[in-house]
Amino acid sequence: MKYQRIRLNVDYSAVGLEKTDENEAFLDAYLLDDSANAYRRKAVIVCPGGGYTGLAPHEGEPVAIRYLEGGMQSFVLHYSVAPATYPMALLELATSVKYLRKHADEMNIDPNGIYICGFSAGGHLCASLAVNWNQAFICEALQAKPEEIRPNGCILCYPRITYDNFDRLGRQVWLINGYPDENRSSFLEMISTDKHVTKDTPPTFLWTTWDDDSVDVSDSLRFIHALRENDVNCEFHIFRKGPHGQSLGDEEIGFQSENLEIFSGKRLDVSPWMALSIHWIYDLTGAEV
């Protein structure tokens, strides 16, 4: 394996926002060093959660390493969080997809096999790109063709999907910064991803737990319903129990609850999701696992 850090150059001014020292987005790349291999590998960009106020480390590198072990080139996106505002992180994720596609040869990536994987708020970020990749406000800002920033598939892990009312914002209230009170309802609808699913939304793998104590299972069900209504290929798993933020959900990573208590050495019911998602990626293209 070889590791490298890739700085992302994003023109935020195109959407009326200003870059600051806190908006230094980058990709951590974990690459299988087989450039001489004729086989092009799938790639996964991992977006940790953290309520758009931080990035949860247990949802970043450990997940990327597991996809690497599954034979894929893996990346962790360190996207902008508060006080950065919408759509900075969305532009950064779109830029990441565009970068991998442009540099597919040198990183031995299948340009038609680029997937995004997000947890909680990172799941909302991935869902946002999945439903907006062909929208003018992103393409024009990045001077990109829609097909350059379209992910080939989307993996959503206990994702936040909708913000259909002010109360749902929680600690992510900063997202509305710069939006006058009279425009807030339209903005909340704009960032509620279930309302913007179309037949062009990429295939989706989604998992959550029935008793998630932070993002209710209804969020995932809304997105699944929208995918079904638009005939979008989907695989969906509801595990019967487990709190929010479990990441890999196995004895290696444990899970971290909101009170920061670490539970280690305990295999949780959600741990099969990783193997299922790897199989799903290969199955989409008919490749062997």
Would you place residue 77 in the very low, low, confident or very high pLDDT band (cuts 50, 70, 90)? Answer: very high
Q: Which residues share a beta bridge with 78?
A: 26
Spell out the residues 6+ positions from residue 236 whose beta carbon is closer than 8 angstroms to its own. Answer: 205, 206, 207, 220, 224
CA angle 61-263-27, nearest 5°? 10
CATH tag for 2-285 (out of 3.30.70.1430, 3.40.50.1820, 3.60.15.10, 3.30.540.10)? 3.40.50.1820
**CA–CA dist 255, 248 (Å, integer):** 8
Would you place residue 163 in the very low, low, confident or very high pLDDT band (cuts 50, 70, 90)? Answer: confident
Would you place residue 226 in the very low, low, confident or very high pLDDT band (cuts 50, 70, 90)? Answer: very high
Q: Give tens-digit pLDDT for 257-272.
A: 443 344 444 446 788 9
Q: Give tens-digit pLDDT for 173-217.
A: 666 665 656 677 888 888 999 999 999 999 999 999 998 888 999
Q: Which of 20-29, 61-70, 119-128, 168-177 has the lowest mean pLDDT?
A: 168-177
pLDDT of residue 262: 43
**CA–CA dist 117, 44 (Å, integer):** 7
Spell out the residues 6+ positions from residue 33 whose beta carbon is closer than 8 angstroms to its own. Answer: 1, 2
pLDDT of residue 178: 59
pLDDT of residue 176: 66
Q: Give tens-digit pLDDT for 273-287.
A: 999 999 999 999 765
Residue 35's identity, in one-letter code, is S
pLDDT at 4 exceeding the cut of 50: yes
- Give pTM, 2 decimals: 0.92
- What are the extents of the domains in the chain? 2-285
Would you place residue 288 in the very low, low, confident or very high pLDDT band (cuts 50, 70, 90)? Answer: low
**CA–CA dist 157, 177 (Å, integer):** 27
Q: Which of 12-16, 25-29, 150-154, 227-231 has the lowest mean pLDDT?
A: 12-16
pLDDT of residue 81: 92
pLDDT at 67 exceeding the cut of 80: yes
